[in-house]
Structure 1
């Protein structure tokens, strides 16, 4: 019995020692993993909370409290205009630079630029609370909206859409250039389209044969375009999305288009003729003679 008791005691001590060894190894492994995680966290860029949309949103849709949520975002990659959680003490729901994204008792906001799920919500993509999604929300400070009449030829075959930029050409006749025919001249370069007909959604991709397009223009440009539209025909030329070159002032008339060069009038020297009269009886004869030098 003593032998059995001794064997059981030795086995128990061995198992206890093995358990202690395994526990110590597990604790050391967990400690090393914790240190690795802390080191990785310290090496990673700082994060911050910002507002994202929870579902796809199209132009004109209502954006309410249930359509957005907070999401962790890399601090050095926050886009301009994002709604960021202020970590200095603002309560839940407050955002930096505003009393609240959705103030209590205030109407909802409207989407003015399409967004996809989990895309950061930007101030320039939504209206202020209660403001509609009309053209007034798309205009920059000091700018005006001006409508230009177009057709299938002058409107780039219907491939214009809000957000595009266009050059504006005027074709007409002037009193000073009447003998040269109509002229075509570039009058405005790289103007921004804010609507095509009654469509202001920049996400539209299907071609539309528009009757009018609306551009963003300064008051001086509005006066210039009004005069041009009333005295001739306006045509649009689509500018490439990545094209930042400034179009040169250009003008073409019918004669230069056809390669007709104005020539100076040729002076024709009149031949000098000298005569003398000779009387023979009752007859008078006119006879040509050499002219004196």
Structure 2
């Protein structure tokens, strides 16, 4: 009997110890989970709702409600021009008029005002012009058009070549102009090389007048600006002499010395007579 009692006591103590060990393990797990949640709360950021693409869309395609969806986005990282309400994208005041994509957008990409037109507008050159700017077409060929490497969205410098006072001169006339169309194509995502006949640039009215005068009086050539280049080219002018390193001779015309003459005036009756005399100084 005592043996049975002792055996039961040992088993009970063992079970109690196992229960304590199991409880301690669970408690440690809870502590770990609690610490992890507290760390996540400490790292939590404010979020806001914006609209992104539910599926991809191509240039010139109309934007419908099936293309968009709402997501939560970090409030301090919302892109400029993002839409936060469905009414902004599809205003009721313009019934049936849809926006058009001015460039291709992939799924989950934020919908920005710079990437779509106004309701009812088409994705043409006019939708790409900034306020106060104008479109101007420049005639080019395989040489002056950078051998078909230009794309809408690139930036170029414009050089003019022509005669100035009996000299053939090449001069930089406009710097860092934005291309908005190649021939009749304004798609920024177009990747097929094209030997363009015209390129359309975005310029101020004053610059348009300068380009028009330059195109009428000489030959225009384009130079592609690097995508990450933020510098502006300064005034550049090259003629044949500078190109070949020929120094122009400076012609100096010496003035002949004029002999100084001194006179005295005397009156003879009603007449005044000047008589030359040697100069004393």
TM-score, scaled to structure 1: 0.73
Match of 2:120 among 109, 117, 130: 130
Match of 2:182 among 183, 196, 216: 196
Deviation at 1:30, TM superposition (A): 5.7
Q: Distance in 2 between matches of 1:106 and 1:34?
A: 52
Kindly indicate whether residue 56 of structure 2 is the aligned counterpart of residue 56 of structure 1.
yes
- For residues 146-172 of structure 1, the C-alpha deviation after alignment (integer angstroms, 9 at most, x for no partner) is 000000000000100011110000011
Q: Which runs of 5+ in 2 are unaligned?
A: 1-10, 254-281
Partner of 1:275: none
Kindly indicate whether residue 87 of structure 2 is the aligned counterpart of residue 102 of structure 1.
no
Partner of 1:78: 78
Partner of 1:153: 143
Q: Distance in 1 between matches of 2:211 and 2:252?
A: 43
Q: Distance in 2 between matches of 1:48 and 1:248?
A: 45
Deviation at 1:55, TM superposition (A): 1.7
Q: Distance in 1 between matches of 2:241 and 2:29?
A: 88
Q: Distance in 1 between matches of 2:232 and 2:39?
A: 51
Which deviates more from structure 2 when the two are superposed, residues 239-248 or residues 150-159?
A: 239-248
Gap change, CA 1:26 and 1:264, over 3 Å in 2: closer
Partner of 2:238: 252
Question: SS state of the match for residue 225, structure 1?
Answer: helix
Q: Distance in 1 between matches of 2:224 and 2:33?
A: 58
Which deviates more from structure 2 when the two are superposed, residues 120-129 or residues 258-267?
A: 258-267
Gap change, CA 1:228 and 1:31, over 3 Å in 2: same
Match of 1:207 among 189, 193, 196: 193
Q: Distance in 2 between matches of 1:266 and 1:25?
A: 103
**What are the equivalent positions in structure 2 for 1:10-89 lying under 5 Å apart?**
33=33, 36-84=36-84
Gap change, CA 1:83 and 1:264, over 3 Å in 2: closer
- For residues 54-94 of structure 1, the C-alpha deviation after alignment (integer angstroms, 9 at most, x for no partner) is 2222211111100010112222211111112xxxxxxxxx3
Q: Distance in 2 between matches of 1:33 and 1:256?
A: 77
Question: SS state of the match for residue 89, structure 2?
Answer: coil
Question: SS state of the match for residue 103, structure 1?
Answer: coil
Partner of 1:166: 156
Runs of 4+ in 1 over 4 A off after TM superposition: 21-32, 264-267
TM-score, scaled to structure 2: 0.76
Q: Distance in 2 between matches of 1:133 and 1:260?
A: 52
Q: Distance in 2 between matches of 1:112 and 1:100?
A: 17
Gap change, CA 1:72 and 1:241, over 3 Å in 2: same
Q: Which runs of 5+ in 1 are unaligned?
A: 1-10, 85-93, 268-293
Deviation at 1:38, TM superposition (A): 4.9
Q: Distance in 2 between matches of 1:168 and 1:126?
A: 29
